[in-house]
Amino acid sequence: MTDSPPPPGAGPRLRVLAAMSGGVDSAVAAARAAEAGHEVTGVHLALSANPQSFRTGARGCCTIEDSRDARRAADVIGIPFYVWDLAERFRAEVVDDFIAEYREGRTPNPCLRCNEKIKFAALLDKALALGFDAVCTGHYASVVRGADGRRELHRSADLSKDQSYVLGVLDDRQLAHAMFPLGDTRTTKDEIRAEAERRGLAVARKPDSHDICFIADGDTQGFLAGHLGSAEGDILDQDGRKVGTHQGAHGFTIGQRRGLRIGHPASDGKPRYVLDISPVSNTVTVGPAEALDIVALTAIRPRWCGTPPAGPGAYTAQLRAHGAETPVTAEAEGDELRVRFARPVRGVAPGQAIVLYDGTRVVGSATIAGTERAVVTTADRQAG
C-alpha cells in the first residue's frame, strides 16, 4: 500500500473503495475508476438506523432505494459491493453536531461535516485498514500533485459543477488517498447521464439529491423544534425595541428575510433581515439589509489542504457551497484564521465554513466564529 497513490489512470493498479450513494455521479465515478484498470470495490454507507426516516426518491441520498440503486450499478459495472453501517457514527458526528450548533445560535453545514468525519475519516480509516489505497467518490473536484510533490485539491475543470467547497475540510493525509474521477474533465451533467446510459446504469435519469438527507420532510425548522423544543422569545429591532415574537431562536439564520412574521413594517418601509441570534436570551435582532454588510471575520479550527500559509496573504474566499468567490486577505494565527474582505459581503453567519482559494487551488477551510460589521448595530455595541 502506498502513502500517496497516483491519480486515476496513471501509475500502478490500485485497490480502490468507491463510495456509491445510489446516484448517477458516484456510479459513473466507480465505472471510470474500474475502466482505468483499478481494482474497485463498491460500498454504500447506511447512515440511518431507520432508513425509512430518511428521504425518498430525489430528496435524499441515504434511503433503502438508494442502497438498491447502488447495488444494481455495481452489478452492471462488475465490481464487488457491500453495505457498511455507519449510522451510529453519522448520528454522533453529523446529526448531533447539527442540532448542537443550532442550539448555540450557529448555522452549520452538515455536508462538510459528513465529508470530514464520515466519508474521509471513518470510511477512509476503514478502507486503509482493509488494504485499500484510495477512496473514490463522485464529487466534482480535482486532486493534482503540486510542484513540491504534495497533493493539492483544485476546483473541478467544469466550474459550474465544482464541489471543492464541501471538500475544503480534507487534510494532507486524506487527499493522499482521495480519487475524484469526475473532476478532471469538462463534462456536463447531461453528458454524465448520457455516459451512464451508455454503460447501462439504471440511475442515468435519477434526479439529483438536494437539501439535508437526515431531515425526512425537508422541514428544518420543524426538525429543530422537535429536538430543541419551542420557547417563545422576542424579535427586536436594532434599538432593542420589541417588534414581534418567535417560537425559538434556533428557527432563524443570519440574513433571513422570509418567515419573520413581524406585525408592522419598518419606519422606512424597507424589508428587515435577521442580524443577530442570541440563544442565551432567546432573542432575534432584525434590521435593514445594509446592516448585514461584513468587512472581516475570525474563524476557528482551520484545516489545511497542504502546507499552512505563512504570514498574511491575498486569496479569494467562498462562503457557501454555491456562492461566488470574493477577494480577501487572510492570516492564520495558531488555531484562528483572520480574514478581511476587499469589499463587504452579506449573509455571513457563525458556524458556516469559509474556504480559501489560491487560483483554483483550495488552501483550506475554517469555521466562522465571529464577524465585524461595516455598520455597528445596537447588538454589536451591547456584545462589545
Active site residues: 114, 213
Residue 105 and residue 250: Cα distance in Å, rounded?
6
Task: Give a three-class secondary structure readout of the chain.
Answer: CCCCCCCCCCCCCCEEEEECCCCHHHHHHHHHHHHCCCEEEEEEEECCCCHHHCCCHHHCCCCHHHHHHHHHHHHHHCCCEEEEECHHHHHHHHHHHHHHHHHCCCCCCHHHHHHHHHHHHHHHHHHHHCCCCEEECCCCEEEEECCCCCEEEEECCCHHHCCHHHHCCCCHHHHCCEECCCCCCCCCHHHHHHHHHHCCCHHHHCCCCCCCCCCCCCCHHHHHHHHHCCCCEEEECCCCCEEEEECCHHHCCCCCCCCCCCCCCCCCCCCCEEEEEECCCCEEEEECHHHHCEEEEEEEEEEECCCCCCCCEEEEEECCCCCCCEEEEEEEECCEEEEEEEEEECCCCCCCEEEEEECCEEEEEEEEEEEEECCCCHHHHHHC
